[in-house]
Amino acid sequence: MEKTLLSFGHGYVAQTLAPLLLTRGWTIYGTTRNPNKVKDLQDQGVRPLLWGQDDIAAIIAGATHIMSSVAPAEGKDPVLAEFRQDIAQAAPRLHWAGYLSTTGVYGDHQGGWVDETTPLAPGTARGKARVAAERGWADIPGLPLHVFRLPGIYGPGRSAFDRLRAGNARRIIKPGQVFSRIHVDDIAQVLAASMAAPDPGAIYNVCDDEPAPSQDVIAHAAELLDLPLPPAVDFDTANLSPMARSFYSESKRMRNDRIKTKLGITLHHPTYREGLAAILASDRA
């Protein structure tokens, strides 16, 4: 069967997934609002669709798989606002649909463990918008929807190494604060595994095995680069942006058992240590 993926918001995660699918003979369309990214997508083997100019509805009608990485804007999901009816019409023919959400939908658990059955209790406007978006996608009749809840994403070009090299890394200290995270390569393998074994209605926490304070990750990255430890800054007095401060308003540990038991995933990077080591090895190759 010929497989065609329409990727809404073809960014960091989708660009990591695409090579896995292209080598298996997939056709991939990726949307972008930036005309300057069209050639980059073409160079990656992806067929670009410029939002507002190209006929995205026609591609929806012919796709076998649809994935959205687009975040809500002003409390609304831009994809659903523009294309909900087109997606609803295509739903009976789709083999798989995926929505990339965030672990912010769970709210604050004061460092406690959270799994996919934990009630949603978002504490931020961003988290509430994600819950609304998840429900908006789930409300499309017949859509074979899969929801992937992602924590902090890191990988090549987006890691503690980049902040250290830029000289703006800090170790923000907030006692008891932990974050879950995931290497982009592991998100890609989870998405590919789900596409290979669709389970409409499934929800997956996509995270590694070791939630940890962000200052531990920064410290380990500095050690790998043989750089001095960045300064420790107390959270209460740190000059953080409202967005950065909001991330620290929630603390939880994400369980990832379901991606292992249901999708057979063995993480490439089970903790930040393996993930950072792989990035450094690639940088030095």
One-character DSSP codes across the chain: ---EEEEES--HHHHHHHHHHHTTT-EEEEEES-GGGHHHHHHTT-EEEETTTS-HHHHHHH-SEEEE-PPPBTTB-HHHHHHHHHHHHHGGG-SEEEEEEEGGGG---TT-EE-TTSPP---SHHHHHHHHHHHHHHTSTT--EEEEEE-EEEBTTBSHHHHHHHT---EEE-TT--B-EEEHHHHHHHHHHHHHS--TT-EEE---S--B-HHHHHHHHHHHTT-PPPPEEEGGG----HHHHHHTT---EE--HHHHHHH----S-SSHHHHHHHHHHHHH-
Q: Tell me the pLDDT of the chain averaged across its residues.
A: 96
- What average pLDDT does this structure show over 95-121? 97
pLDDT at 285 over 80: no
Residue 246, pLDDT > 90, answer no
Q: Report the CATH superfamily, name and number, of domain 4-154+182-209+253-269.
A: NAD(P)-binding Rossmann-like Domain (3.40.50.720)
Domain boundaries, the chain: 4-154+182-209+253-269
pLDDT tops 90 at residue 242: no
Mean pLDDT of 37-59: 96
pLDDT in tens, 123-178: 999 999 999 999 999 999 999 999 999 999 999 999 999 999 999 899 999 999 99
